[in-house]
Structure formats: structure tokens, C-alpha cells
């Protein structure tokens, strides 16, 4: 049975997909559309500018700000489409066979369209608690926007009773996900002729030692590390994504660079794993590198970091979400902004339409049935007393 708000939701989704909000580009046109839409419905809106030009988030409030309310949240940015083979324009919503295709349809403009339509409809009702909406930016490149959005939210309103982040879960309630830290390591040694390697300091060798340490650490965590069933895999993981260095076969390389990540179980601090890697570089690798080049360095740049999530399922907000979803909680292998909200003291869960397996792929889609189920869930949640 189609939901009464489905047509309105599809109209929003069509507009949202048409905005090319790849993380490297501006999202201001999309924010302006949402701001105009929600203001016309009677919500009070606050634009939250990013530090960099061309980016912003949006907060919207329905009801008094001094009373704790329900927060619905999602990110406005999407991943690139370059190099992907789409059967239609990725920035034009196409509906066929009960599916809406387009970049961001499942991750996560489908949820943004649902929460916007539900908020418009709720503006004419008396709700048991205020309703708050948060639209963030730069989630796809490390959850960069949400800390500033949370700061602005807590300056403007009472801490919410619960925050629902609408990443695609097939409308199952995600109560936990892993944290992450991504690092770029740069090794600088000294170039020399490869026939006279004692006059140089091989940066690729040094980087390879650190990569080998990371590989051993990945094996150690898989076999000896803490485990938590429900995650796939059920332990903290390590990855080296790219590595590059040197300039020619007959030159001892003076530079090398690689990127790596740790995806950590909830309760672990991703920074602790990064600190162990830095200590290995300082104490185990750099002294040997400096034997051939006292000026040698190994430096690290943090590319992204976000906390894991573990929700309290006895919280009234969690009980309401589980009842409305009609099933038990799931643990998520991907990260979300929910960990940031939880760290700020807000009960947070993840639940939204779509499937993460469709995200970031060509011909990404969300189904009409998933959108209808999300609308029914959100309408039930905004009308539920959460205390």
C-alpha cells in the first residue's frame, strides 16, 4: 500500500538527486532548497556555514527549543561517479520497476527526502516532543561537517532525547558500528646512486617495514585481539590502501608515501592504534633510516577519524525504534555520524531505507517500498512519547 506522503517524498528525492553534491563540490544549492521548503512549512531554520567556502549544514526546529526533542539526521554529500558506467544520468532521478535510480538515492538522499516530507506533514500537528532536523556535509570524506553541526545544535536547543541517523540499513535498527582512523605516512630518506646505496637512505625500505608491521598487526588483531560477535569481521581491522615512492630503478628512493586505516570495535579509541604505529615508526624504523641520513623523517597526517557507536537498548528512544522497526538490532560494518552524536551525549541509532551494498556503485537505487516503510516508521516515531 503506497504511503500518503510517498508522492511528496519522491518530488523531494527528484530535486535532491539533481543537486550534484559530490563532497568536493558545493552543497549550497541543496541547502537553499531545503531551507526554503522547511521554512515554508513553518519550521525555523538555521544555516551552519562550514569553514571552507561553498559548504554549509542546516538545522531545522519544530516546537520549542528549550525542551528535549527527537532529532533526525543525514548527510547531504555523495561520492563521485567518475569511472562508473551508469545506465542513466546519475544526477537525474529515474523511476522504473519500483526503484528510484540516481547518485545518493540510497546513500542517503532517500532518507533526507523522507524526513523532510514527514517534517512538513508534522508541522500542522501537536507532537509529544519537539522535532529537530540536521543536514550535514562532508560525511563521505571523514564525517568532517557533523562536529560543527552538533556544536551549533547544542547552542540552539536542549540536548535531544534521541538521534536517528538514516544511513541505509534496510530499515533495521543499527545499534553499533565501528570507529575509524585514516592516516597518510610520508617517509623521507636520501637519494643516491643505486650502485652506492650506503650513501643514501632508502625510504621505500623504511615504508615497507612499517607496512609489514601493519600486516602483522592485522594478523594479531584477527587472532588475538578483542572480538565482538555481530560485526563482520568481529574484530578491529587494518588496511593499507595505496603506496608510492621512488623515481627510477637505479636510484635509491628518497621518498615514499602510503595510506592506511584502522577500523576499531566500539569502546576502542582509534587514536590508540595510530599511536602504536607512530611509536613503531619513531623507535623501530626511523633510527635505522637516520644511520644513512640524519635528516630523514617519518611523518603522519590524519585524514579522517570518527568514533564507534554502541547504543543503550534500554533507553526509551531505542525501545521505540525497535518496536516500530519490528525486529532486533543489527551491528554495522560501516561507519556513520551516529558515533559523533553519541559522544556528544545524545542517544543515537542508525536506521534508514536502502542497502549499503548499493551505495557508491553505478545505478544506485532505493525502492518505493523502502521509502514507504521509512515514512511509516518516521511518522510513528515523531508521534511517540519518548520519555
DSSP state of 344: T
Quick check: helix, strand or coil at residue 248? Answer: coil
The answer to whether 20 and 76 have CB atoms below 8 angstroms apart is: no
Quick check: helix, strand or coil at residue 162? Answer: strand
Q: How far apart are CA 162 and CA 347, in angstroms?
A: 5
- Neighbour count for residue 257 (Cβ, 10 Å): 17
Q: How far apart are CA 22 and CA 25, in angstroms?
A: 6
Q: How far apart are CA 1 and CA 303, in angstroms?
A: 45
Length of the chain, in residues: 387
Quick check: helix, strand or coil at residue 115? Answer: helix
Q: How far apart are CA 166 and CA 179, in angstroms?
A: 18
Q: How far apart are CA 364 and CA 356, in angstroms?
A: 10
Quick check: helix, strand or coil at residue 155? Answer: helix
What the block records as the C-alpha cell of 63 is 516546537
- The number of C-alpha atoms within 13 Å of 73 and in the hemisphere containing its C-beta is 33
Q: How far apart are CA 3 and CA 300, in angstroms?
A: 51
| Of residues 192, 77, 91, the one with CA closest to residue 146 | 77
What the block records as the C-alpha cell of 9 is 517524498
Pairing of β 162-165 and β 70-75: parallel
What residues are annotated to the active site?
77, 139
Amino acid at each position: 500500500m503506497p504511503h500518503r506522503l510517498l508522492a511528496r517524498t519522491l518530488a523531494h528525492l527528484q530535486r535532491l538527486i539533481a543537486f550534484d553534491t559530490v563532497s568536493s563540490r558545493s552543497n549550497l544549492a541543496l541547502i537553499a532548497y531545503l531551507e526554503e521548503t522547511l521554512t515554508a512549512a513553518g519550521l525555523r531554520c538555521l544555516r551552519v556555514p562550514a569553514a571552507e567556502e561553498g559548504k554549509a549544514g542546516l538545522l531545522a526546529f519544530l516546537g520549542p527549543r528549550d525542551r528535549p526533542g527527537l532529532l533526525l539526521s543525514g548527510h547531504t554529500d555523495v561520492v563521485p561517479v567518475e569511472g562508473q558506467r551508469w545506465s542513466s544520468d546519475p544526477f537525474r532521478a529515474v523511476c522504473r520497476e519500483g526503484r528510484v535510480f540516481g547518485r545518493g538515492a540510497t546513500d542517503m538522499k532517500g532518507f533526507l527526502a523522507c524526513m523532510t516530507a514527514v517534517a512538513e506533514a508534522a508541522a500542522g500537528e501537536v507532537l509529544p516532543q519537539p522535532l529537530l532536523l540536521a543536514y550535514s556535509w562532508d560525511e563521505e570524506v571523514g564525517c568532517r561537517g557533523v562536529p560543527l553541526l552538533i556544536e551549533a545544535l547544542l547552542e540552539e536547543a536542549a540536548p535531544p532525547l534521541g538521534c536517528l541517523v538514516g544511513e541505509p540499513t534496510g530499515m533495521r535498527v543499527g545499534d553499533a558500528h565501528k570507529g575509524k582512523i585514516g592516516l597518510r605516512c610520508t617517509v623521507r630518506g636520501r637519494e643516491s646512486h643505486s650502485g652506492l646505496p650506503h650513501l643514501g637512505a632508502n625510504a621505500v625500505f623504511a615504508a615497507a617495514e612499517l607496512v609489514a608491521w601493519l600486516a602483522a598487526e592485522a594478523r594479531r588483531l584477527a587472532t588475538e585481539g578483542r572480538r565482538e560477535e555481530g560485526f563482520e569481521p568481529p574484530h578491529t581491522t587494518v588496511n593499507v590502501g595505496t603506496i608510492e615512492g621512488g623515481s627510477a630503478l637505479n636510484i635509491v628512493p628518497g621518498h615514499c608515501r602510503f595510506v592506511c586505516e584502522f577500523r576499531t570495535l566500539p569502546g576502542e579509541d582509534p587514536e590508540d592504534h595510530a599511536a602504536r604505529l607512530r611509536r613503531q615508526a619513531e623507535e623501530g624504523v626511523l633510527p635505522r633510516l637516520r644511520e644513512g641520513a640524519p635528516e630523514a623523517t617519518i611523518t603522519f597526517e590524519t585524514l579522517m577519524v570518527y568514533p564507534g557507536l554502541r547504543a543503550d537498548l534500554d533507553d526509551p528512544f531505542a525501545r521505540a525504534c525497535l518496536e516500530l522497526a519490528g525486529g532486533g538490532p543489527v551491528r554495522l560494518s560501516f561507519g556513520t555520524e551516529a558515533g559523533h552524536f553519541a559522544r556528544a551525549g545524545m542517544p543515537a541509532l542508525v536506521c534508514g531505507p536502502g542497502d549499503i551494498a548499493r551505495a557508491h556503485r553505478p545505478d544506485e537505487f532505493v525502492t518505493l517500498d523502502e521509502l514507504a516503510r521509512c515514512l511509516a516508521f518516521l511518522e510513528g516515531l515523531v508521534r511517540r512519547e519518548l520519555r
